[in-house]
Amino acid sequence: MGDRGTVSLTQHFSKEPLVAISATAVQLLLVFEIEVIEMRSE
């Protein structure tokens, strides 16, 4: 069951690597920005 999910996930990423990369980058940027804002407000 877990293997099947991993295979479909890798297939999806191989089809749209740019989408996966950009989505990950946006997520990282959001986390980074939130941490910076929290540090400034202290």
- Residue 16 is predicted with a pLDDT of 77
pLDDT digits (tens, 9 = 90+) for 1-42: 456 656 666 666 567 778 888 889 999 999 999 999 899 988
Domain encompassing residue 13 = 2-41
What is the domain count for the chain? 1
CA 40, CA 1: separation in Å to the nearest integer? Answer: 45
Q: Distance of CA 9 to CAs 2, 17, 23, 40, 41, Å?
A: 11, 11, 14, 38, 39
Write down the H helix ranges in the chain.
2-15, 17-41
Q: pTM for the whole thing?
A: 0.47
